[in-house]
Amino acid sequence: MGICPQHDILFDDLTAREHIRLYAGIKGVSKQDIPGLVDERLKIVRLHAVADVRAGTYSGGMKRRLSLVISTIGDPKVIFMDEPTTGMDPVNRRCVWSFIERFKRGRVIILTTHSMEEADVLGDEVGVMSNGRLRAINNAIALKTKFGAGYSVSIVTNVEDSEHVQNIVRDIVPNAVLGDYSAGALLYQFLPTSVSVVPKLVKWLEENPEGLVKSWGIGQTTLEEVFLKLIRESNALFSKRDEEEARMRLKVYKKINGLQYLGINKVS
């Protein structure tokens, strides 16, 4: 089993090369295979140029990449990765994603992350947790289909033309939901039942007969939107439970205080 913890557990005075040699020895990797393993893994995560530099001088992102490599030493069949790309720039994050995507074949990798993009890219199965409970688990497409709002269409127009554009969209797709509006930027959500009329809206956007549309875009519900919906539902559920529990505690408190009051009265 391999583990990439949330907080890097490294030896400041050891280099990246020495770290991998140490853990490879502990995991029973043969001595003749260790040099090649060190070079291969460090190149993949873009640390080969600093292989002989002490880890204590590394940036946060570099330490995360070294921790990730260490978790894969010894060919483990199960690996736990806790927010492996924290502190990384987009280039190195993509590099790590490619490494995980390639390395996960024939293995089980349990990865926790706050990045919905990361979950979408890497997860064969995606689970959403809230308040310590698993709210949903499935592949990303199934989650988007079940909990998503169908499609989203963004339209950018002049502020003075926005009301006219809204009327046109409403005529084409009567049940379109305006999810967000800001300075001429309109974001519509379309339920799966409206899919059949979306092409008609797209045609109008492409033709732009009155020149009202500056730009537009269309996309499927994102995993982030699914996550936010589940969290909102979860928080609403917990708010209701908290309210009920508070009322129960208040009743018990009143009952206890009432008994104490009666007791005092009896004593007096």
Q: Is the pTM of this model over 0.85?
A: no
pLDDT < 50 regions, the chain: 246, 250-268
For residues 7 and 104, state if they share a domain: yes
101: in domain: yes
For residues 170 and 207, state if they share a domain: yes
Q: What is the pLDDT of residue 250?
A: 46
Q: What's the domain range around 64?
A: 2-124
Q: What is the pLDDT of residue 241?
A: 60
What's the CA gap between 72 and 78, in Å, rounded? Answer: 9
| CATH code of the domain covering residue 187 | 3.30.70.1150
Overall domain count for the chain: 2
What's the CA gap between 90 and 87, in Å, rounded? Answer: 10
Cα distances (angstroms) measured from residue 164 to each of 154, 194, 212: 15, 21, 9
> pLDDT tens across 92-119, in order?
999 999 999 988 989 999 999 988 889 9
32: in domain: yes
**Residues 6+ positions from 215 with CB-CB distance below 8 Å:** 155, 156
22: in domain: yes
For residues 28 and 116, state if they share a domain: yes
> pLDDT tens across 237-253, in order?
655 565 565 455 544 44
253: in domain: no
134: in domain: no
Nearest to 192 by CA among 155, 232, 152, 231: 152
C-beta neighbour count of 225 within 10 angstroms: 18
Report the mean per-residue pLDDT for the chain: 83
Q: What is the pLDDT of residue 39?
A: 94
| CATH code of the domain covering residue 98 | 3.40.50.300
90: in domain: yes
Q: What is the pLDDT of residue 242?
A: 54
User: Can you read off the two tokens belonging to residue 58?
Assistant: 């590394």
What's the CA gap between 224 and 227, in Å, rounded? Answer: 5
Helix segments in 47-156, DSSP class H: 60-71, 90-103, 116-122, 140-147
- 177-182/151-157 β-pairing: unpaired
